[in-house]
Amino acid sequence: MRKLIPFLMIVFSGLMFSQNIEFVKRTVQSINQIKDFKIKTVPYSYFMDKSEVTDNGIELKGFYKDGKLRKMEHFMGLSAWKIITEYFFLENGKLVFMYSKKYQILNENGCLEKPKLLSELRCYYENNKLIKTVGTFNDEEKTDYLRESHKLIQDLKNYK
């Protein structure tokens, strides 16, 4: 009996956790199906004014539906890589999902014809708390994507 209780607790928590992930997946899918977003683009010049400079630029796009931010795309071009990060938000503005991809665009022989996917990272959130991470970034320090999303939202608000 003593061994049965911990086993049941693990099974029950696993079932609850998978329900949360399914909710996130459905939410992201519904956001990606929206066709008539109002898009606000923050160009590289804005980031340069803030002394955020990269070799191949930075761009931020906010996707709004009915005046609410539902998705952000952040592009960062470094000398040999490009990183594309997408953030998805509930209607109440809470981060629900982050998906980031890192591509190699240069090798020892110069530019690659087709960028090579190096790594992917998916982060699932519930009530502004990280509940699951899938994947990893190579040679990357840990980034607090929740905090990063708040910073980028401020950039969207501040850009005129």
> What tens digit of pLDDT does each residue of 13-62 get?
443 445 578 888 999 999 999 999 999 999 998 888 888 878 888 999 99
Predicted local confidence at residue 135, as pLDDT: 86
Q: Beta-carbon neighbour count of residue 1 at 10 Å?
A: 4
Q: Which amino acid is at 153?
A: I
pTM score of the predicted model: 0.83
Predicted local confidence at residue 136, as pLDDT: 78
Closest listed residue to residue 69, CA positions, set 90, 50, 86? 90
pLDDT in tens, 72-94: 999 998 888 899 999 999 999 99
Contact 92, 69 (CB under 8 A): no
DSSP code at position 139: T
pLDDT in tens, 118-145: 889 999 999 989 998 888 766 556 788 9
Domain ranges of the chain: 4-158
